[in-house]
Structure formats: structure tokens, C-alpha cells
């Protein structure tokens, strides 16, 4: 029981941290600066054939005058290939190294890797890396041993992520963040109650208008259940981020409906 309570507290703290980062990205404009990326090496080298969940790592060097996150995407031709990718810690200003990776659990082909550096959710630099990669979808036995630089940078990234989370936990919390966090956490339940209420009260075109958020929110709910069953610690994140928009829509519809009723009665 103590272990489960500790896990829930850590998951809640992680979720709060992610939501705070999203709020800061919405409320603050980024300071633009000079950012450069370059490829040092890859593991395995290209061309390569990779197995089920096998990772293709790119060893990057960076130069930046501001803190950045570094992300990676995979492409085949002009189409983005849905991939599992590395999380990014916050890399400090200066020169350094980064490890980014992509992986697949099903057969896939990739001919281009795009690495980008973001500051406050705005792209600052991008580098295209031509590759010839094929994922077979078959588990490789025995698993290939990663290069030594991967283990080194993986440990550094984990240390950065933990330090970033710990610094966020220990910082003074502004009042507006607590208010917004509270409102976002309760937007989901309030939306559900209002959705049911309006569907019962409204008729004809007003009922159709009230149905607009239902389809996307059902999709979000299905995804949330799937993420929960998959064991994700942040499974309600998408639901929390989308519920306020659905709630604002219904509040706006309710306001328009009341104005229309008053106008028709005069």
C-alpha cells in the first residue's frame, strides 16, 4: 500500500510538472537565439536492418546560447513515419552532446531522420539526416549491444531529467499556476456533467450543436483508457488538456442559447 501511494504521488508530481511546462509554453514568448546541430555518429551505422523495438541512435553535437530541448522524427519520402522516440531533457546553453533515437515494434522503412532543437516550443534549428533503415518487426536474439557513448549519454539524460523535475518541485509555486492546474483538473468532470445536461435540455438544432464535442472527446476517452491499460504514468494528460476546450465550447453555446431565448421573447 505504501509503495502504491508513493507511485501515485510521483505520477501526480510528474503530471503536474508536464502541465506546468505546457502552461509556461502558452504564456511566455521564447527568446530567439543562435542554435546549431551536427551529427557525430550513429548506432548502428546506415544502412541497417533493425529488429522489434530496436533503437536507432543519433549522436548529436550542439551549440546554443539558450536552453533547448532536442527531438527527433522519422520519415519515408515525404511522409512522417509514426515512431517511438526519445524524451528530451533540457540542455543548457553552451556546447554539448545529445543522444536521440527512434524505434519501431512493427515493420517500417525510414530514409530520413529529422532532429530539431526547440526553445519554449519554438523550433530554433533543424538537421536532416539521410539514412537507409528497415525495421523487420522480428525480435532480434541476442539483442545487439549499444555503443559505449549511448550508455554514457543515457545516464546524463536521466540525470538532467531528474534534476529538472526536482528543481520544479522545489521552486516557489505562483498562485496562478495552482488556479489553472485546479481548473484544468476539474474541467473533465464538469464537462461531462454539462454535456449530459445540455443534451437533455436542448432540442432540434441546439441539440446537434451540443453534440459537436462528443465525437472528439469519446476518441480522447478511448485513448486515455488505452494509455491506462498500457501502464502509462501520465495517462490522463490528453484528457486534461482537451477537456477545457470542450467545456469552453459548451459554455459558449449555453450563452448563445440564452441570448437567443431572450431575443425571441422580446
Indicate which CATH number applies to the domain containing 106. Answer: 2.60.40.770
What is the band of 102 on the pLDDT scale with cuts at 50, 70, 90? very high
Query: Could you tell me if residue 175 is left (phi over 0), alpha (psi between -120 and 50 degrees) or otherwise beta?
Result: alpha
Q: Given the C-alpha cell 539483442, which residue does it identify?
A: 143
Length of the chain: 266
H helix runs in 69-174, sequence order? 148-170
How many domains is the chain partitioned into structurally?
Answer: 2
Residue 11 falls within a domain, yes or no? no
Would you state the torsion angle of the CA atoms of residues 58, 63, 66, 68, taken in this order, to the nearest 10 degrees?
Answer: 0
Domain that holds residue 235: 175-265
Q: Mean pLDDT across the chain, nearest whole number? A: 84
Residue 94 falls within a domain, yes or no? yes
pLDDT at 151 over 80: yes
Is residue 101 within 8 A of residue 135, CB to CB? The reply is no
Does residue 195 share a domain with residue 118?
no
In terms of C-beta density within 10 A (0-12 exposed, 13-18 middle, 19 or more buried), how is residue 254 classed?
middle
Higher pLDDT, 232 or 197: 197
Question: For the packed helices 148-170 and 2-27, what is the interaxial angle rounded to 10 degrees?
Answer: 80
- The residue among 165, 179, 248 whose CA lies nearest residue 23 is 179
Residue 166 falls within a domain, yes or no? no
Does residue 140 share a domain with residue 179?
no
Cα dihedral sign, 63-65-68-74 = negative
Does residue 220 share a domain with residue 130?
no
Does residue 184 share a domain with residue 113?
no
Tell me the chain's radius of gyration from C-alpha atoms: 23
Calpha distance 76→83 (Å, rounded): 12
Whether pTM > 0.85 for this model: the answer is no
Does residue 113 share a domain with residue 192?
no
Residue 4 falls within a domain, yes or no? no
Average pLDDT of the segment spanning 182-186: 78
Does residue 47 share a domain with residue 127?
yes
* pLDDT score of 186: 83
pLDDT tens digits, one per residue of 49-100: 999 999 999 999 999 999 999 999 999 998 999 888 988 888 989 999 999 9
What is the band of 230 on the pLDDT scale with cuts at 50, 70, 90? confident
Min mean pLDDT across 9-13, 123-127, 153-157, 199-203 is at 9-13
Higher pLDDT, 161 or 266: 161
State the DSSP code for 171: S
Question: Hey, what's the cell of 107?
Answer: 515493420
pLDDT at 165 over 90: no
Choosing from 144, 167, 190, the residue where a domain stops is: 144
What is the band of 18 on the pLDDT scale with cuts at 50, 70, 90? low
- Helix (H) or strand (E) holding 263, with range, is helix 237-265
Amino acid at each position: 500500500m505504501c509503495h502504491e501511494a508513493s507511485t501515485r504521488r510521483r505520477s501526480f508530481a510528474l503530471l503536474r510538472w508536464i502541465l506546468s511546462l505546457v502552461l509556461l509554453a502558452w504564456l511566455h514568448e521564447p527568446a530567439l537565439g543562435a542554435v546549431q546541430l551536427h551529427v557525430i555518429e550513429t548506432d548502428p551505422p546506415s544502412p541497417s536492418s533493425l529488429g522489434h523495438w530496436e533503437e536507432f541512435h543519433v549522436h548529436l553535437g550542439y551549440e546554443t546560447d539558450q536552453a533547448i530541448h532536442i527531438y527527433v522524427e522519422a520519415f519515408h519520402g515525404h511522409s512522417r513515419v509514426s515512431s517511438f522516440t526519445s524524451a528530451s531533457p533540457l540542455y543548457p546553453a553552451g556546447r554539448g552532446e545529445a543522444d536521440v533515437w527512434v524505434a519501431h515494434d512493427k515493420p517500417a522503412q525510414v530514409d530520413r531522420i529529422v532532429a530539431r532543437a526547440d526553445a519554449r516550443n519554438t523550433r530554433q534549428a533543424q538537421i536532416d539526416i539521410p539514412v537507409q533503415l528497415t525495421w523487420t518487426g522480428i525480435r532480434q536474439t541476442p539483442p545487439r549491444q549499444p555503443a559505449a557513448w549511448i550508455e554514457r549519454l543515457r545516464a546524463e539524460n536521466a540525470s538532467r531529467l531528474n534534476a529538472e523535475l526536482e528543481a520544479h518541485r522545489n521552486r516557489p509555486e505562483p498562485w496562478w499556476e495552482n488556479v489553472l492546474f485546479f481548473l484544468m483538473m476539474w474541467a473533465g468532470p464538469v464537462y461531462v456533467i454539462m454535456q449530459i445536461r445540455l443534451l437533455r435540455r436542448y432540442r432540434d438544432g441546439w441539440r446537434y450543436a451540443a453534440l459537436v464535442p462528443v465525437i472528439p472527446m469519446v476518441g480522447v476517452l478511448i485513448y486515455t483508457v488505452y494509455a491506462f491499460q498500457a501502464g502509462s504514468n501520465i495517462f490522463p494528460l490528453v484528457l486534461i488538456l482537451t477537456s477545457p476546450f470542450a467545456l469552453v465550447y459548451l459554455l459558449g453555446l449555453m450563452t448563445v442559447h440564452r441570448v437567443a431565448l431572450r431575443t425571441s421573447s422580446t
